[in-house]
Amino acid sequence: MADRGVSRRDVIGGAAALAAVPLAGPVRAGASVRTVPLVLGHRGACAHRPEHTLASYARAIADGADFVEPDLVATRDGVLVARHENNIAETTDVATHAEFATRKATRSIDGETVTGWFTEDFTLAELKTLRAKERLGAFRPESQAYDGEFQIVTFAEMIDFVAAEAATRGRSIGIIPELKHSTYFAGIGLPLEQRFVDELAMHSYLGRAPVIVQSFEIANLLWLRTRLAGRNNVRLMQLTENGAIPADRAAAGDNRTWRQRLTPAGIDEIARYADFIAPNFRDLVPQAADGKLGSPTPLPSQAHRSGLLVGTWTFRPENRYLAADFRDAAGDTARNPAGSVAEIRHYLAAGVDAFFTDDPALGRLAVDP
């Protein structure tokens, strides 16, 4: 396939700019993309507001995110809602609702035993009686100050909100949804993929705005590649993490980890159905024993040679999350904006084309100093 140079403007400019790049083949990496990467608002701007709330998305957009992320799970009545996991114990006040005490349960999800309250046990109307809270609690006091103020939002509500923000601000704002636990939800009779495709069809904004669909699983992206072949504004992102096994492959008896899969041949295979590969950032530039960053792995250059753009996750502004090279003396829990910006730039120099950050304002500063 001939190389197609696609700039950041092409990627975020909507369907018109992307019309010449058919979905049937992956977007080819170009130097302009790597020069001006995409800032992806991780669950919105969750360094400042409780994740996956309209307030979090609003802050991310105001701070210059190119895309905002809704992780998608299903309710008992089949509605897609924005939550990082189907277990809502850490991100809502469900534990304080006596009427839901008996719904606390233990489940096996993607091979892990998890205890909490799960979206698939609640109707949308019931979830709307809950309020969001900061996952990290007092560790993020600014966000925690908003505990109890915001409700769980549906994917449809989030789309309408982003469309309104785009119209008000006069710029295209991308949406980068992640389909969470696809194999698990299919196994309980609530498959996510067709519901997601139906939502795309119902919102005119998603007919022209840039959309990147992400997953740690493989089968759902393969399914979407076929069903979305006519949508030139939609891209697919394969998430990876070295030590993890894709849940759909594990369910089929294939227990190879992503580390084992990401050979040059494996990367070529991903390029046949996806446009981005997005490893954990420490899988691109790992930390040494002293906590400092080592040398970049060959993965970015291998991915680019295969025609894939390289995303990564997730940059956070507190010292405890930074490599030792970039921490300051303010303490483990302190915000360190300068260190976060420096760390992001280090990864951009290693060939990253798009990155998730809890603080899009710092991401914007790293890209546009």
**Would you list the domain boundaries of the chain?**
8-85+152-367
Q: pLDDT at position 230, please?
A: 86
Q: pLDDT at position 20, please?
A: 33
Nearest Cα to Cα of residue 257 among 274, 234, 240:
240
d(CA 261, CA 269): 10
Contact (CB, 8 A) for 173 and 166:
yes
Q: pLDDT at position 363, please?
A: 98
- Amino acid identity at 38: L
Burial class (CB in 10 A: 0-12, 13-18, 19+), 332: exposed
Q: Looking at the DSSP assignment, which residues form a beta bridge with residue 278?
A: 239
Q: pLDDT at position 294, please?
A: 96
The domain over range 8-85+152-367 is classified in CATH as 3.20.20.190: yes
Residues of the chain under the 50 pLDDT cut = 1-9, 11-35
367 Cβ partners below 8 Å, 6+ apart? 36, 37, 39, 348
Contacts 24+ apart (CB under 8 A), 114-117: 114/87, 115/89, 116/87, 116/88, 116/89, 116/90, 117/87, 117/88, 117/89, 117/92
59: its two tokens? 């802050």
Q: Looking at the DSSP assignment, which residues form a beta bridge with residue 335?
A: 318
167: its two tokens? 């119209």
d(CA 140, CA 120): 28
Reported pTM: 0.92
d(CA 275, CA 28): 8
| Residue 13 host element (H or E) | none
Contact (CB, 8 A) for 157 and 193:
no
- Amino acid identity at 95: A
